[in-house]
Amino acid sequence: MSADHHPSDRSPEERAASRGRRGESNKGDAPPRGENGREDAAWSAVEHVSRASLTASRLEDLLALILRETAALAGADAGTIWLVDTRTGRPRLAGRIPEESHEEPSGIRETWGPLVEEAIREGRPARARIEADGGVEETVAHPLVAFDETVGALAIRARPAVESAPLRILCAQAAAAIQTSRLFERVHASARRLKAVEREVLRNEKLATLGEMSAKVAHEIRNPLAAIGGFARRIEKGLPEDDPKRSYTGIILKEIGRLEALLGEQLEIARSPAPRFQMVDPVDLVRDTLALVREEIERKGVRLIRRGGGAVPSLLLDPDRVKQVLLNILKNAVGATSRGQEIHVGTRASDGWMEIEIANNGERMPGEILESLFVPFASAREGGCGLGMAVADQIIKEHGGEIRVRSTREWSAVFTISLPIRTNEDRRRTPERRRRERRRVA
Amino acid sequence: MPKLLIVDDDPNLLRLYREELEEEGYEVEVAAGAREAVEAFDRTSFDCVVLDVQLAEGNGLALLRRFLDLRTEVPVVLNTAYAFFKNDFSTWSAAAYVVKSSDLSELKAVVRGAIPPKAA
């Protein structure tokens, strides 16, 4: 909008002209140039806003522009634009002019709030007139309606305020822009959710593959092993008691026994039996786990900072498995840090959740590794198979909890394990265990 | 002499089972696949079947159902490399479940226990 249409430049005659036009009583008594100028200004404002609607990337910028254009067109010296909060249903200030005003937010709400709320409630413009020195000052709040939904309000203060077709168009554009941006945000949110689901599916698939693989390997090895051992046994049976070859068959059978036992263990892991839950003080658990890595931490000259906030209730969990998770994360932290760097371990309970946080400021993981840390094999490092974190995730899920990782400016990796604090632990205990616990208490 | 049918796709294991169980006093017939097994089962009245769950051709469990449909009274012992099916075997109406091992004493004991006394 060009400078000669700025409200402060406008003469009283021009204002009279616009009043006259609004009243449909324009009998040519206003200067023709002023009339044409106003119309030009109106259409150029509409055009300007239309173009910005297609290019502005931020809703706030677009709303500020619409407010400026509307105010200028109406000859307003102050204005505000409001968005209806989708959760509370109440208007929230989204922009104002003059921007450099030092008015407190509470003051702004007091000045504009009642009219804005009325406009939103009634779905039509709400106005208030004040007799001020040298004339009447009018405040008008226009509801912003798009697709039958009131998404906000635009309010301006002018002396006197105008209402015209271009103004209504500008308001409609503001409303459409708000709606579009909200729809866009919803699309983005869906896309994010989809991505999360995709990652989950990928992880499950890989775990399934892993189980299949172990089973296949076990099968492929167990059959020939049974044949080798079985025939070795038959050879042994045929040998006289004092035959020196018995020591050979003895070795064969002993080694086969060892391999078969190993296969059994391997299958146990792949099958991952149900966790054995019991009431455990998580702070003790953290302390016990730290004891396992303390020596290495000290040897490396890494500083361990242990923080715990207040009393923490006992939790129903499988201590061995959760210890395995903690140890896994701590070992990674120790591996990433070097002399003088820090590992931070915090525990806190709030809102029905127990949180254990393990952070370090050592070597950073590349973003893509951090993102797919819980996907089996995706984050394999040298000397690792990339399964530790997938298993950790699985274990915490079995506890009804969640494990997350992020990096911040200060910390290279922050792991947060959230475990639910159950209030109905008693139900989960077997009668036998309840009796045992009662005996212990007594 | 009680008659046994042993179904397994590993020829070495079949030979081992045959030799070991014949020494125990059984008349042993072996089958390396599902079709062969069903044919033998139709032909002969066995006192017990030892069946590998995981056969190269055909599903061992489908074969188990087939045997039970044909003659419910014949006990079937599942013999397999997988420990994980163990918890479920009762739901399959198999007489017993043995995890494959080079030591056949468990298999022998289970077969002995599965055969009704009159036949033994």
Digit-coded pLDDT (tens) for A27-85: 444 444 455 666 777 788 888 888 887 777 778 888 888 888 888 888 888 889 998 88
Looking at the fold, whether A159 and A36 belong to one and the same domain comes out as: yes
Does residue A361 lie within any of the structural domains?
yes
Looking at the fold, whether A7 and A143 belong to one and the same domain comes out as: yes
**Considering A244, A271, A298, which residue would you say is the last residue of a domain?**
A271
For A233, the closest of B99, B100, B102 (CB atoms) is: B102
Percentage of residues in chain B having pLDDT higher than 70: 84
**Considering A186, A213, A247, which residue would you say is the last residue of a domain?**
A186
Residue A410 has pLDDT above 60, yes or no: yes
Which of the pair, A434 or A181, is modelled with greater confidence?
A181
- For A133-170, give one letter per residue: b (16+ CB within 10 A) or e: eeeebbbbbbbbbbeeebbbbbbbbbbbbbebebbebb
Residues β-bridged to residue A155 = A80, A141
CB pairs under 8 A between A and B: 60
Looking at the fold, whether A347 and A252 belong to one and the same domain comes out as: no
Does residue B90 lie within any of the structural domains?
yes
Sorted by sequence, the CB contacts under 8 Å of residue A160 that are 6+ apart come out as A15, A19, A129, A135, A136, A137, A138
Which of the pair, A292 or A306, is modelled with greater confidence?
A306
**Total residues found in chain A within this entry:** 442
Is the distance from CB of A123 to CB of A142 less than 8 angstroms?
Answer: no
Does residue A129 lie within any of the structural domains?
yes
Residue A304 has pLDDT above 90, yes or no: yes
Q: What six digits make up the tokens of A437?
A: 């616990």
Cα angle, residue A79 at apex, residues A77 and A85 outer, rounded to 5°: 175
Percentage of residues in chain A having pLDDT higher than 70: 73
Q: How many domains does chain A have?
A: 3
C-alpha A24, offset from chain centre: 55
Does residue B41 lie within any of the structural domains?
yes
Residue of B nearest to A269 (CA): B84
Looking at the fold, whether A397 and A433 belong to one and the same domain comes out as: yes
Contacts of A233 in chain B (CB under 8 A): 102-104
- The span from the CA of A223 to the CA of A40, in Å, is 90
Residue of B nearest to A257 (CA): B102
Looking at the fold, whether A292 and A255 belong to one and the same domain comes out as: no
Does residue B65 lie within any of the structural domains?
yes
Looking at the fold, whether A179 and A296 belong to one and the same domain comes out as: no
Is the distance from CB of B100 to CB of B120 less than 8 angstroms?
Answer: no
Q: How many domains does chain B have?
A: 1
- The span from the CA of A97 to the CA of A80, in Å, is 6
Sorted by sequence, the CB contacts under 8 Å of residue A27 that are 6+ apart come out as none
Task: Verify whether the Cβ–Cβ distance B83 to A219 is below 8 Å.
Answer: no
Sorted by sequence, the CB contacts under 8 Å of residue A79 that are 6+ apart come out as A67, A70, A71, A96, A97, A154, A155, A156, A157
- Chain B contact for A230, CB < 8 A? yes
Q: Smallest CA–CA separation between A257 and chain B, in Å?
A: 8
pLDDT at A249: 92
Does residue B119 lie within any of the structural domains?
no
Does residue A422 lie within any of the structural domains?
yes
Does residue A194 lie within any of the structural domains?
no
DSSP line for B26-66: -EEEEESSHHHHHHHHHHS--SEEEEESB-SSSBHHHHHHH
Taking only residues 250 to 289 of chain A, the set having a beta carbon closer than 8 angstroms to any beta carbon of chain B reads 253, 256-257, 260, 264, 267-268, 270-271
C-alpha A5, offset from chain centre: 46
Give the mean pLDDT of A123-128: 86
Residues from B in contact with A at Cβ < 8 Å: 10, 12-13, 16, 19-20, 54, 81-84, 99-104
Task: Tell me whether residue A415 is exposed, middle or buried, using C-beta atoms within 10 angstroms of its C-beta: 0 to 12, 13 to 18, 19 or more.
Answer: buried
**Considering A239, A271, A303, which residue would you say is the last residue of a domain?**
A271
Looking at the fold, whether A20 and A134 belong to one and the same domain comes out as: yes
DSSP line for A154-208: EEEEETT----HHHHHHHHHHHHHHHHHHHHHHHHHHHHHHHHHHHHHHHHHHHH
Q: Which range is most confident: A354-363, B70-79, B111-120?
A: A354-363
Residue A438 has pLDDT above 50, yes or no: yes
Sorted by sequence, the CB contacts under 8 Å of residue A110 that are 6+ apart come out as none
Which of the pair, A338 or A182, is modelled with greater confidence?
A338
Looking at the fold, whether A90 and A211 belong to one and the same domain comes out as: no
Residues β-bridged to residue A156 = A79, A140
pLDDT at B106: 86
Domain span at A19? 3-186
- The span from the CA of A5 to the CA of A288, in Å, is 75
CB-facing half-sphere around the CA of A78: CA atoms within 13 A: 11
Q: Smallest CA–CA separation between B102 and chain A, in Å?
A: 4
Q: What six digits make up the tokens of A7?
A: 């409200």
Is the distance from CB of B6 to CB of B30 less than 8 angstroms?
Answer: yes
Residue A363 has pLDDT above 60, yes or no: yes
Looking at the fold, whether A103 and A252 belong to one and the same domain comes out as: no
- CA-based radius of gyration for chain B: 13
For tokens 């009796």, the residue is A435
Looking at the fold, whether A77 and A41 belong to one and the same domain comes out as: yes
Give the domain CATH number at A380: 3.30.565.10
For tokens 């055909």, the residue is B58
Give the domain CATH number at B110: 3.40.50.2300
Q: C-alpha distances in angstroms, A10 versus A6, A21, A74, A132, A162? A: 7, 16, 11, 19, 14
pLDDT at A302: 94
pLDDT at B85: 57
Does residue A89 lie within any of the structural domains?
yes
For A226, the closest of B82, B83, B102 (CB atoms) is: B102
Residue B23 has pLDDT above 70, yes or no: yes
Looking at the fold, whether A154 and A261 belong to one and the same domain comes out as: no
Residue B90 has pLDDT above 60, yes or no: no
Looking at the fold, whether A15 and A163 belong to one and the same domain comes out as: yes
Domain span at B82? 3-114
Kindly give the pairing relationship between strand A76-84 and strand A149-158: antiparallel
Is the distance from CB of A91 to CB of A152 less than 8 angstroms?
Answer: yes
Question: Residue B5: which H helix or E strand, with range?
Answer: strand B3-7
CB-facing half-sphere around the CA of A440: CA atoms within 13 A: 6
Residues β-bridged to residue A145 = A150
Which of the pair, B50 or A389, is modelled with greater confidence?
B50
Contacts of A257 in chain B (CB under 8 A): 102-103
Q: CB A301: neighbour CB atoms within 10 A?
A: 11
For tokens 């296949």, the residue is A216
DSSP line for A151-163: EEEEEEEETT---
Contacts of A270 in chain B (CB under 8 A): 84
